[in-house]
Amino acid sequence: MKLKHKDLLSIHDLSTEEVLKILDVAKKLKKMQKEGVPHEFCKGQTLAMLFSKASTRTRVSFETGFHQLGGHAIYLNDKDSQIGRGEPIRDTARVLSRMVDGIMIRTFSHDSVIELAKYASIPVINGLTDLLHPCQALTDLLTIEEHQKTLEGRKLVYVGDGNNMAHSLMYACAKVGMHMVCASPKGYQPDPAVVKQAQEDAALTGCTVSVEEDIFKAVKGADVLYTDVWTSMGQEAEREVRLQALHDYQINGELLKAAHEDAIIMHCLPAHRGEEITEEVLEGPHSVVWDEAENRLHTQKAVMVLLMSGAEL
């Protein structure tokens, strides 16, 4: 199995074996980093990081991670690059392909990422789009495995807006045999096309992917409770409407009691305390959000090593 020179646009595009390989390499790289073992598998390489959306975790984890791998990362936002002045994505893709070894992009339109990958001759990594957030979902699998020991047969319940995070978690769970329920109100449920694809993937691994409006019915027997902000970047004008529509879809102490007693709480951050999650739960003993945040570093390093260097670990 070789991932070198491939793109990571969606977890749906990966095989189960490829997902597990990324997780395995992430665990090895994390151990090496904790033990102070040098792991410069991308020494001499350059990563271009294209940002159209604000970022804390994505920028710091990719930039720090690539530095630890011995490479050099270049940060480019819309103000720093010609993309912001209207240069076509296909032109940027072909120019960067002749200068750097890989591209990470965090932007709004998923179609832009698809076009970038089509014209680039180097690996393209989707750092986030309005449709998908694959690096975060892979990170979440690593975090769940660390705390729950196994992935297959576990049940993850996503609560709230059926957004890019819900979509990628559906794909991720389906690939590793985890049951996934998205608890969302009508009008805020995930893209039906994504649900259908995830269900097809789930049929191959013996798990289920579903959408449920009844939040307490959804969380029954859950091993993982997951949420995200109700108003994502670019939706600020809808904030008040969203707060009202999603008001009852909050992870709080009462909802936690309906899950397994050893259930873990996850959030991709940033968190809006008092909206999608309460302070007591986010800071409580079931929360693993800080481990989850750290694991962005290790998982994305695994992705970069596998796609850009092809090193065998």
Q: Which amino acid is at 272?
A: H
My answer on whether omega of the bond before 270 falls inside 30° of 0, hence cis, is yes
CB contact at 8 A, 166 and 184: yes
Active-site positions? 106, 133, 136, 228, 268, 296
Neighbours of 212 (CB within 10 A): 17
DSSP annotation string for the chain: ---TT--BS-GGGS-HHHHHHHHHHHHHHHHHHHTT----TTTT-EEEEEESS--SHHHHHHHHHHHHTT-EEEEEETTTSGGGGT--HHHHHHHHHTT-SEEEEE-S-HHHHHHHHHH-SS-EEEEE-SS--HHHHHHHHHHHHHHHS--TT-EEEEES---HHHHHHHHHHHHHT-EEEEE--TTSPPPHHHHHHHHHHHHHHT--EEEES-HHHHHTT-SEEEE--SS-TT-GGGHHHHHHHTTT--B-HHHHHTS-TT-EEEE-S---BTTTB-HHHHTSTTB-HHHHHHHHHHHHHHHHIIIII----
β-bridge partners, 210:
181
